[in-house]
A and B are shown apart, each in its own frame.
Chain A
């Protein structure tokens, strides 16, 4: 998660630069919200998720970090959702093909699921010591 968040930091800042170029295409101008979300979701939120899984109080000796399946699903849902968003969000206003709208809805669902599964999986580790 931390590695991916660093990658999104570079991608997000790179896309921000591209959207500011004077000769930006309509697609790039539509990508401004996606570039912002690469930074706040891909970089900041994913970095927080990764660091929280590592440093929050351990659950138990047997399963110190909780369910590995849950943390893996958070990783895949967040990253797949974000990539789909970056592809579909700027394309929706430019295309009449319904597939882009469907991909954007799938992206919304995946990112939401990542957030909910993260909260459920980390909740038990927030406890007094």
Chain B
């Protein structure tokens, strides 16, 4: 597994623990009929598990298993490192924005998440084109 994939997968697993912990806390609140807790934290729970866990894991595993193109991979590794940083910063800011009801932080977080996905997609796209040419 490339070093970049290791980092993406490890970060995804940390988000899984945080997201599952929050989900368990929300369920306990539901069991005690504290529905205001459920409403307040549901968005944060979904953000962490969708962006931090699922999408980050998919990025890490696909960077590892997609057809290799050594030259392109070396040239574009910085983009994927950038995607790793901006995704985690974006999730952190989005979660802060939702928790503290700071609209600006939420917007910047979402923009960083979008930037991260664009960086990642443009980095791995040449590997797909080369693979389809080879048949």
Chain A interface (Cβ < 8 Å from any Cβ of B) = 40, 44, 48, 56-57, 85, 88-89, 92-93, 100-102, 104-105, 107-109, 111-112, 115-116, 118-119, 122-123, 126-129
Q: Given A44-B54, A101-B32, A129-B1 in contact, is the A119-B27 Cβ separation under 8 Å?
A: no
Chain B interface (Cβ < 8 Å from any Cβ of A) = 1-3, 6, 9-10, 13-14, 16-17, 20-21, 23-25, 27-28, 30-33, 49, 54, 57
Specify the chain B residue showing the minimal Cβ separation from A41: B23
Q: Given A48-B57, A92-B31, A108-B24 in contact, is the A115-B6 Cβ separation under 8 Å?
A: no
Contacts of A127 in B (CB 8 A): 1, 6
Q: Given the complex of chains A and B, what is the CA–CA distance between A109 and B24 in angstroms?
A: 7
Q: Given A119-B16, A119-B17 in contact, is the A111-B24 Cβ separation under 8 Å?
A: yes
8 Å CB contact of B13 from A44, A104, A123, A129: A123
Q: Given the complex of chains A and B, what is the CA–CA distance between A127 and B6 in angstroms?
A: 6
A107 in contact with B57 (CB, 8 Å): no
A115 in contact with B16 (CB, 8 Å): yes
8 Å CB contact of B27 from A100, A108, A123, A128: A108
8 Å CB contact of A108 from B9, B23, B54, B57: B23
Q: Given the complex of chains A and B, what is the CA–CA distance between A128 and B131 in angstroms?
A: 23
Specify the chain A residue showing the minimal Cβ separation from B2: A128
Q: Given A104-B31, A119-B17 in contact, is the A112-B1 Cβ separation under 8 Å?
A: no
Specify the chain B residue showing the minimal Cβ separation from A101: B31
Q: Given the complex of chains A and B, what is the CA–CA distance between A55 and B33 in angstroms?
A: 41
Contacts of A126 in B (CB 8 A): 1, 6, 9-10, 13
> Given contacts A107-B27, A108-B28, could you give 5 more A-B pairs where the C-beta distance is less than 8 Å?
A85-B27, A104-B27, A105-B28, A115-B16, A115-B17
Specify the chain A residue showing the minimal Cβ separation from B35: A93
Q: Given the complex of chains A and B, what is the CA–CA distance between A6 and B4 in angstroms?
A: 30
B21 in contact with A104 (CB, 8 Å): no
B13 in contact with A57 (CB, 8 Å): no
Contacts of A102 in B (CB 8 A): 31
Specify the chain B residue showing the minimal Cβ separation from A107: B27
